[in-house]
Amino acid sequence: MEQKADIVIVGAGAAGLMAAAGAMKILGPSAKVVILEKMPRPSRKIMITGKGRCNFTNAKPWNEFSTHIHPKADFLKSAFYNLTSDAMIQYLADQGLESVVERGDRAFPASYSAADVVDALVKGARDSGARIICGCEVLQCRDGNDGFVVECSGNQAFVCSKLIVCTGGLSYPTTGSTGDGYRFAKSMGHSITPLFPSLTAIVPKGYKVTSVNGHIDRSTPLSEMGKLLCGNQLKNVGMSLFIDGNPVQDEFGDLDFTDGGLEGPIGFKISRRSVLALTNGAKVYVEIDLKPAVELVSLSSRINNLFDEISKDRRSASKPYRERFRILLTKLLPSSLIPAFVKMNSNLDHKSLAKALKCWKMDISGYVGYERCVVTAGGVSRDEVVAKTLESRIVKGLYFAGEVLDIDADTGGYNLQSAFSMGYLAGMSAARSI
C-alpha cells in the first residue's frame, strides 16, 4: 500500500522529532509530515542518556560550545544558530518540561527523568501535526519519478517530495541504531567517512582477561587487575594522552574505573583520539596525575615530611617499613585504590611515590565498541551536504541530520543539542523548498 506525504522523516530520535517540529512550523497543520520509526516507541536511545537522567543540552554560547564539536565545528554553526541551546530549553518548556542547569552548563530535566524529555519531544512533534508511525522499519529509500519512494516492512510504502534521514549511528544497537542511514545514503550515491566508536571506555593493558588489541567487548571478564580497579571513582585528577610517544591531549576532571575500562568525563574525552589511533595501529598510553594541584617538588617534600612523622610516631615507629609505607599511602590515596596502585607501580617506596602519583602510566590496548559507546564518529560526508540547509549536494530534496552525519561531540549535552539543531534546520529547510 502506497501513501503520499509532503515530507518523510526516517527515525524518531532527537533529530527526527525536531525535524518534524521544524517542518510543521513552516508548512502549518495541513501539511503531511510523517516520521517512520522501526522501534516500538520513539527515542529509545534518549531514554538511556546520562544513565537515565538525560543531559539534553549544554547552555554554553557558540564560541565555547563549538570547541566540543568534532571533527569541524563550522559545519554545525548554521544549525546551532537556527536553534540554540537556550531556544531548545525554551522549546521543551513550551511542552511542559522544566529544566535545571548544573555545573559545566549542563541542562537536565528538573525531574532528572529521560522519559520526560522523550514525552516532551513527542508531544511537540504530534501537537505540530506530524504523524509518528512506530514499528515501521524502512527497508529502502530511492529517488523515484514522482519524488522519493520509501519502502517499509509490512508491504508499506510512502511517496514524498522531501526525505530527511535521521537514523542515528551504530551506537547502542539495541535501541535501533544499526547503521540503516549509511546504507540509504550509499544507495543514493553518498560517501561514508570511516566509522568508529567515540565516548566509550578505553581499556588499559591487562584490565581484561583477553590479550586482544583493538575492540574488546564490554562483556569480556575483568582480570585480577581490572577487579582491583573497577568501581574506583577519582575526582579532580589530570590525564594526558600519548600517541606513539607524543602528548596529544590533556584533560582535568573526574575519572571512573568501570567494568568496561576508563570512563567518566575525562575518560570519554580522550576516547575519540584513543580509538582512532588504535584502529590505525598506533601505540597509545595515558598518564594519570592523581595530585594535579601540587607540583612534583612540593609533593615530594610533603611526602617526606609525612613519612618522617609516621616514622617518629610512637604508634608506628617500631613497625616494619612496608607497614609505615602503607600508612603513608592511606594519607594520600583512597583506600580502595591502593592495592591496584601498588601492584601497577613496582618497587614503590616513599622516595619514588611522588613521581608515581604525578605520572601513573597505563598502556591502552583496546576500547569498548558500538555495543556501549555513546556516539558514532564518522558518517555521511559533510562535503556532500550543504551546511546551511543540510540538503544533499548529490540528490536534490534529500536531507540528513544528527548522528548519521560525520559530526560528533564531547560528553556534556553537546551531542543531543547538535542533533536537535540539525534536525530542526533540516525540517525547516525541507519545508521551505516545497
Grade residue 11 by pLDDT with cuts at 50, 70 and 90.
Answer: very high
Q: Are residues 76 and 189 in the same domain?
A: yes
DSSP letter, residue 392: B
Mean pLDDT rounded to a whole number for the chain? 96
Rounded CA-CA distance 66/22 in Å is: 22
Q: Averaged over 323-338, what is the pLDDT? A: 96
Distance CA 86, CA 63 (A): 14
Among the three residues 329, 344, 372, which one is the final residue of a domain in this structure?
372
The pLDDT-based confidence of 201 (bands split at 50, 70, 90) is very high
Instruction: Calculate mean pLDDT across residues 180-189.
Output: 98
Instruction: Kindly tell me if the per-residue pLDDT of 142 is higher than 80.
Output: yes
Of 354, 372, 390, the position where a domain reaches its end is 372
Q: Looking at the structure, tell me whether residues 22 and 94 fall in a common domain.
A: yes
* Contact between residue 76 and residue 414 where contact means Cβ atoms under 8 Å apart: no
Mean of pLDDT values over 344-372: 96
Domain that holds residue 297: 200-372
| Torsion angle of C-alpha atoms 65, 67, 70, 74, degrees rounded to 10 | 80
Of 328, 356, 372, which marks where a domain is finished? 372
Strand partners, 377: 196
Q: Are residues 103 and 188 in the same domain?
A: yes
CATH code of 389's domain: 3.50.50.60
Residues 80, 27, single domain; the answer is yes
The count of other CB atoms within 10 Å of the CB of residue 331 is: 12
Q: Which of 239, 263, 294, 301 is nearest to 411 (CA)?
A: 263
**Taking phi first (over 0 means left), then psi (-120 to 50 degrees means alpha), and beta for anything else, what does residue 117 get?**
alpha
Mean pLDDT on 74-96: 98
Q: What is the pLDDT of residue 182?
A: 98
Mean pLDDT of 407-413: 97
Q: Within 10 Å of residue 347's Cβ, how many Cβ atoms?
A: 5
> Is 325 in the same domain as 413?
no
**Which residue, among 197, 182, 191, has the nearest Cα to 402 in the 3D structure?**
182
Length of the chain equals: 434
Q: Are residues 318 and 408 in the same domain?
A: no
Same structural domain for residues 368 and 408?
Answer: no
* pLDDT, tens only, 224-241: 999 999 999 999 999 999
The pTM of the full predicted model, rounded to 2 decimals, is 0.94
For residue 78, how many C-alpha atoms fall within 13 Å in the half-sphere facing its CB? 14
How far apart (Å, rounded) are the C-alpha atoms in residues 273 and 162?
36
What's the pLDDT band for 168 if we cut at 50, 70, 90?
very high
What number is the average pLDDT over the span 157-178? 96
Cis peptide before 71 (omega within 30 of 0): yes
Residues 183, 34 share a domain: yes
Q: What is the pLDDT of residue 50?
A: 84
What's the pLDDT score for residue 94? 98
Looking at the fold, whether 25 and 113 belong to one and the same domain comes out as yes
- Determine the 3-state secondary structure of 96 from DSSP: coil
Q: Is the pLDDT of residue 145 over 80?
A: no
210 and 153 part of one domain: no
Contact assessment for residue 42 and residue 12, using Cβ atoms and an 8 Å cutoff = yes
pLDDT level of residue 208 (50, 70, 90 thresholds):
very high
Q: Examine the pLDDT at 144 and tell me if it is beyond 90.
A: no
Contact 181, 24 (CB under 8 A): no
Number of alpha helices (DSSP H) and beta strands (DSSP E) in the chain: 14, 21
pLDDT at residue 1 in the model: 73
**At residue 26, does pLDDT exceed 80?**
yes
Output the pLDDT for position 2: 87
CA dihedral 208, 214, 219, 220 (to 10 degrees): -30
Same structural domain for residues 233 and 206? yes
Instruction: For residue range 108-122, list pLDDT tens digits in order.
Output: 999 999 999 999 999
Q: How many CB atoms lie within 10 A of CB 133?
A: 16
273 and 350, same domain (yes or no):
yes
Q: What is the pLDDT of residues 308-328, one digit of tens each?
A: 999 999 999 899 999 999 999
Total domain count, the chain: 2
Sorted by sequence, the CB contacts under 8 Å of residue 60 that are 6+ apart come out as 85, 105
CA–CA separation, 15 and 426 (whole Å): 9
C-alpha cell at 373: 559507546
